[in-house]
Chain A
């Protein structure tokens, strides 16, 4: 059974850092591009970042570029999102998501984790 489980969220002061993790199981993690998507309370979906299956390519939304870093450890089937210089507007539920087709880094998301809440507040 394909499963994605995020962890690492919490309450953090503006300007501080946080590292999110996404543990994958039930599929060959090392073959799939992976994404982070966030959803602020009561708002829509916002794409955050993508990493290719082997970690060689990474891209970010303009809103997080230079502050967030996506990475992965294929030996541990885990995806990460390192977040620095956090702002109030980064407050959201952060989901990791798996692409549907392993041939493409960009594709529809056929599996989402339940998400981890990040609250940036003083």
Chain B
């Protein structure tokens, strides 16, 4: 089974800071890695799909990238409304299954 390691589990940053979250896959998953934002009491919202594609309507301060089995999610300038938990998600076909990372709770310093 493919393991996903998401880090850090939490972070505190100031408004305007650049924030980076990583997910590392235990083996090659190609580009099949997505990022979600979940605000308290709300359902998850898709931000980035296939490693680097910005979902329609999502602000451009959010971005994603891939280097081999390492995936990076970036908020270029943290805003107060970005307070949330962020999850990576991967899927593979052999066997067919889907895995979420453990989540990263982002707070304002």
Contacts and interface: CB of A to CB of B under 8 A. Distances in A.
Interface of A: 35, 37, 44-47, 50, 57, 59, 61, 95, 100, 105-110, 112-115
Given A45-B36, A108-B49, A109-B89, 10 more contacts: A44-B100, A44-B103, A46-B100, A47-B97, A47-B98, A47-B99, A47-B100, A108-B34, A110-B46, A112-B43
Interface string B98-109: 111111000000
Contacts of A37: 100
B87 A45 contact: yes
A4 B64 CA distance: 27
Contacts of A46: 100
Interface of B: 32, 34, 36, 38, 43-44, 46, 49-50, 55, 85, 87, 89, 91, 93, 95-103
B69 to A, nearest CB: 18
A1 to B, nearest CB: 14
Contacts of A45: 36, 38, 44, 87, 89, 100, 103
A105 B98 CA distance: 11
Given A59-B96, A59-B97, A106-B96, A44 B46 contact: no
